[in-house]
Chain A
Amino acid sequence: MFWLDTKRVIKSGFINFIRSSLISLSSVLVVTITLSIIASLIFLQAILQFSLSEMEDKVDVTIYFTVGAPEEQILNLKSSLEELPEVASVGYLTSDEAIRDFRLRHTDDYLTLQALEETGKNPLGASLNIRAQEPSQYESIATFLEGDSAVVVETSDIIDGDINYYKNKEIIDKLTSIINSSQQLGFFFTFIFIIISIIITFNTIRLTIYVAREEIEVMRLVGAGNKYIRGPFMVEGVIYGVISSLITIIIFYPITSWFGREMSSFFGMNLSEYYLNNFFQIFIIILLSGVALGTISSFLAVRKYLNK
Chain B
Amino acid sequence: MINFENISKFYNGDPALDSINLSVSAGEFISIVGQSGAGKTTLIKLILAEEKPTSGSVFFDSVDIHSLKNNAITKMRRRMGVIFQDFRLLPRKTVYENIAFAMETAGKTDEEIETDVPYILDLVDIKSKALLFPHQLSGGEKQRLAIARAIINQPEVIIADEPTGNLDPINTNEVIQILKKINDLGTTVILTTHNPRIIDSLKKRVVSMEKGKIISDNEKGKYKI
Which A residues contact B (CB, under 8 angstroms)?
A: 1, 4-5, 8, 15-16, 19-20, 212, 214-215, 217-226, 228
- Complex interface: chain B residues within 8 A of A215 (CB): 90-92
By DSSP majority rule, is chain A's interface helix, strand, loop, or mixed?
Answer: helix
Q: Is the CB of A218 within 8 A of B106?
A: no
Query: Are B92 and A223 neighbours in the complex by a CB distance under 8 Å?
Result: no
Chain B residues within an 8 Å CB radius of A228: 104-105
Q: How far is the CB of B137 from chain A (nearest CB, A)?
A: 16
Q: How far is the CB of B44 from chain A (nearest CB, A)?
A: 11
With contact pairs A223-B78, A224-B74 given, residues A19 and B105 touching in the complex (Cβ less than 8 Å): no
New A-B contacts (20) at CB < 8 Å, excluding given A221-B88, A222-B105, A226-B70: A1-B107, A19-B92, A214-B88, A215-B91, A218-B89, A219-B101, A220-B77, A221-B50, A221-B77, A222-B101, A222-B102, A223-B77, A223-B102, A223-B105, A223-B153, A224-B101, A224-B105, A225-B71, A226-B74, A228-B105
CA distance A212 to B106 in the complex (A): 22
- Pick from B90, B107, B109: contact of A218, CB below 8 A: B90
B66 at the interface (CB under 8 A from A): no
Least distance between A25 CB and chain B CB atoms (Å)? 15
Closest B residue to A306 by beta carbon equals B70
| Most chain A CB neighbours (cut-off 10 Å) among B77, B101, B106 | B101
Are B105 and A20 interface neighbours, CB within 8 A? no
- Residues of the A chain whose Cβ atoms lie less than 8 Å from the Cβ of B89: 218
Q: Which of B90, B109, B153 has the most CB of A within 10 A?
A: B90
Residues of B within 8 A of A4 (CB): 109-110
Instruction: State the CA gap A1–B108 with chains docked (Å).
Output: 9
The yes or no answer to B58 lying at the interface (CB within 8 A) is no
Task: Judge if B82 is at the interface, Cβ distance under 8 Å.
Answer: yes
Q: How far is the CA of A19 from the CA of B90 in the complex (A)?
A: 12
Closest chain B CB from A218 CB (angstroms): 5
A83 to B175 alpha-carbon distance, docked (Å): 93
Give A111 to B194 CA distance when docked, in angstroms.
114
Bound Cα distance from A261 to B50, whole angstroms: 63
A228 to B109, CA, bound (A): 15
Separation in Å of the A108 CB from the closest CB of chain B?
78
24 A-B pairs with CB atoms under 8 Å apart are A4-B110, A15-B92, A20-B92, A212-B92, A214-B88, A215-B91, A217-B88, A218-B89, A218-B90, A219-B90, A220-B74, A221-B48, A221-B50, A222-B77, A222-B102, A223-B74, A223-B78, A223-B80, A223-B153, A224-B74, A225-B74, A226-B70, A228-B104, A228-B105
B48 — which chain A residues lie within 8 A by C-beta? 221
B142: interface (CB < 8 Å): no
